[in-house]
Amino acid sequence: MKRSKLLLFAVLPAFLLLSCGRPYDVRPAGPGTDRAAFIYPDYTDVTLPCNIAPLNFYYTDPAGKAFTTHFFAGGKAVVLKGREVVWKEKAWRELLAAAAGSDITVESAWSSDGTRRFQRWTLHVAQDRIDPYLTYRLIEPGFEVWDDLEIQERNLESFDVRVISDWRHTENKCMNCHIHSQGRGDLSMFYLRGEGGGAILNRGGELRKLTLKNDAMISPTVYGEIHPGGRFGVFSTNIIIPAMHSEGGRRMEVFDTASDLCVADFDGKRMLTFPETSRKDVFETFPVFSADGNFVYYCAAPAHPLPAELGQTMYSLVRIPFDAATGTLGGPADTVWSATQRGASVCHPKTSPDGRWLLFTVAAYGTFPINHSECDLCLMDLSDGSIMDMQAVNAEKSDTYHSWSSDGTWFVFASKRGDGLYGKPYFSHVAPDGTVTKPFLLPQKNPHFYDMMLRSFNVPDLGNAPVGFDAATIGKVWKEMPAESFEKKNHTI
């Protein structure tokens, strides 16, 4: 008995130590840090969908203590104490339901340096729901090499995460980002690169592995999108060159020395190329379909010798008709946003599934905006071509790699605001009049999650339903499924 008590006293402190874990010290505020707001993530005055997971955060005042946070909405009141504000999911859901279509008023109080501090702020809760699934690739900011890649699907209504493809099941193969067609969980694709790889096409949960390449193309397909009808996909083919900037403040640069467009006929197993979008004197890239599938928007620039004239290489946004019966791109292309007139370069156009909006990235030059701190999102109203005010959305670091929810009321984008290194998913609401709201960062169970995160959320993409596969299935596809050839004959039209 005596011995067992001694054992208990010896083991208990160790157990407590292990179960409590090491407290986070993230030096949240002060000179040399990027914590401007009194809470991190900065959720002050953001607009939320009524089905979002709890917004956990922490106070950044290093000298602060006795933190109290009061939430009021629809006659309900919740008080949470402590530097870390971590919700119980049920309590959060009840508060959110009470506030749908109105506001949650928040009162923050704490002591700091002998002074009582107080902040009143607001969480606006929209009635519009957001598509509940978000896929993204987790990747270290790399330079042609990779390790331990995975694509995850996060449930935005909770903190549940599902791995849909990963390095463990594919012998550490490279994989590119997963994209939905118009936010549909049953129509999506991504690439597994290297031996045994191919474009993985998900149509209604049926998976196919495709080699989207023929002799008329300058490379396998790179950027692209699936047609809403599901039979076709439009893609770019790019000769991609990685490079560096000598000036210390800039990071890796990537440019194309050649790029064309092509169409993949998934049912006919053929690749189609067209003179209008295979010009040697023009770089064509980042093609996407219009919401109705009758046009393809893409970026085009006059060919320049690179990298010598990289700073002058600016892409316009153009549009070309698409015939969904034959898979034909018909010329000529119309200019939607002129790089010459604007003195800037467009990347990553994305049409909203309701057909109303076109969201794209504008950078000073080139096609690699993720390392361009000047790059911002731009929203065009397709009904009249007007450009919306995006000041509420854009930050001083790169904002790009965006996608729409299936009803066109929310968009997500990867922003490097803050550290400038790691892309994080932010969500913003678009009202019918084009008013956009201050974006909020994807909430995490641990409010310190992003402080300890050393990987980027690459190409966050919204989906209205979970994709019907997981990493084990993809592992089987990679190992056992032969890739379907699209090399039959050249269908230049």
Residue 421 binds another protein, judged by CB under 8 A: yes
Residue 206 binds another protein, judged by CB under 8 A: no
Q: Which one, 128 or 253, has the nearer CB to another protein?
A: 253
Q: Which one, 27 or 120, has the nearer CB to another protein?
A: 27
Helices marked H in 305-354 — which ranges?
339-342
Round to whole Å and give the CA distance between 309 and 294: 35
The residue written with tokens 């049953």 in the block is: 186
> How near is the Cβ of 373 to another protein at its closest, in Å?
10
Round to whole Å and give the CA distance between 138 and 458: 6
N- to C-terminal Cα separation, the chain: 89
The single residue among 81, 143, 171, 374 that binds another protein, judged by CB under 8 A, is 143
The single residue among 12, 77, 148, 331 that binds another protein, judged by CB under 8 A, is 148
Round to whole Å and give the CA distance between 437 and 46: 7
Round to whole Å and give the CA distance between 75 and 172: 52
The single residue among 15, 34, 120, 383 that binds another protein, judged by CB under 8 A, is 34
Round to whole Å and give the CA distance between 14 and 33: 34
Residue 292: which region, alpha, beta or left (left: phi > 0; alpha: psi -120 to 50)? alpha
Site string for another protein, 255-284 (x = CB under 8 A): ------------------------------
Residue 452 binds another protein, judged by CB under 8 A: yes
Residue 24 binds another protein, judged by CB under 8 A: yes
Q: Which one, 142 or 205, has the nearer CB to another protein?
A: 142
Q: Which one, 245 or 479, has the nearer CB to another protein?
A: 245
Helices marked H in 21-163 — which ranges?
89-99
Angle subtended at Cα 335 by Cα 270 and Cα 225, rounded to the nearest 5 degrees: 35
> How near is the Cβ of 248 to another protein at its closest, in Å?
4
**For the purposes of burial, counting CB atoms within 10 Å of the CB of 38, is it exposed (0-12), middle (13-18) or buried (19 or more)?**
buried
Residue 31 binds another protein, judged by CB under 8 A: yes
> How near is the Cβ of 243 to another protein at its closest, in Å?
5
Q: Which one, 254 or 390, has the nearer CB to another protein?
A: 254
* Pair of tokens at residue 294: 């009758």
Round to whole Å and give the CA distance between 16 and 20: 6
> How near is the Cβ of 17 to another protein at its closest, in Å?
16
Q: Quick check: helix, strand or coil at residue 404?
A: strand
The single residue among 1, 25, 341, 432 that binds another protein, judged by CB under 8 A, is 25
The single residue among 250, 476, 479, 488 that binds another protein, judged by CB under 8 A, is 250
Q: Where are the beta strands (DSSP E) in 94-159?
A: 103-112, 115-125, 133-139, 150-155
**For the purposes of burial, counting CB atoms within 10 Å of the CB of 163, is it exposed (0-12), middle (13-18) or buried (19 or more)?**
middle
Residue 381 binds another protein, judged by CB under 8 A: no
Q: Which one, 195 or 480, has the nearer CB to another protein?
A: 195
List, in order, residues 6 or more apart from 36 with CB less than 8 Å away.
42
Site string for another protein, 282-321 (x = CB under 8 A): -------------------------x--x-----------
Q: Which one, 324 or 453, has the nearer CB to another protein?
A: 453
The single residue among 229, 419, 472, 485 that binds another protein, judged by CB under 8 A, is 419
Residues 319-348 that bind another protein (CB under 8 A): none
Residues 207-246 that bind another protein (CB under 8 A): 241-246
The single residue among 6, 27, 101, 331 that binds another protein, judged by CB under 8 A, is 27
- Please identify, among the stretches 27-35, 401-409, 426-434, 462-470, the one whose residues bind another protein according to the rule CB under 8 A: 27-35
Round to whole Å and give the CA distance between 428 and 412: 6
Number of amino acids touching another protein (CB under 8 A):
43
Q: Which one, 13 or 31, has the nearer CB to another protein?
A: 31
**Chain centroid, CA 9 distance in Å:** 50
Round to whole Å and give the CA distance between 84 and 448: 9
> Nearest CA to 93 among 44, 134, 49, 131?
49
H or E stretch at 257: strand 253-265
The single residue among 7, 8, 30, 389 that binds another protein, judged by CB under 8 A, is 30
- Please identify, among the stretches 22-30, 90-98, 232-240, 321-329, the one whose residues bind another protein according to the rule CB under 8 A: 22-30
* Pair of tokens at residue 158: 């909770």
- Please identify, among the stretches 32-40, 284-292, 320-328, 345-353, the one whose residues bind another protein according to the rule CB under 8 A: 32-40
Output the furthest CA–CA distance in the chain (Å, rounded): 91
The single residue among 268, 420, 434, 468 that binds another protein, judged by CB under 8 A, is 420
Residues that bind another protein (CB under 8 A): 22, 24-27, 30-34, 140-148, 241-253, 307, 310, 418-422, 451-452, 454-455
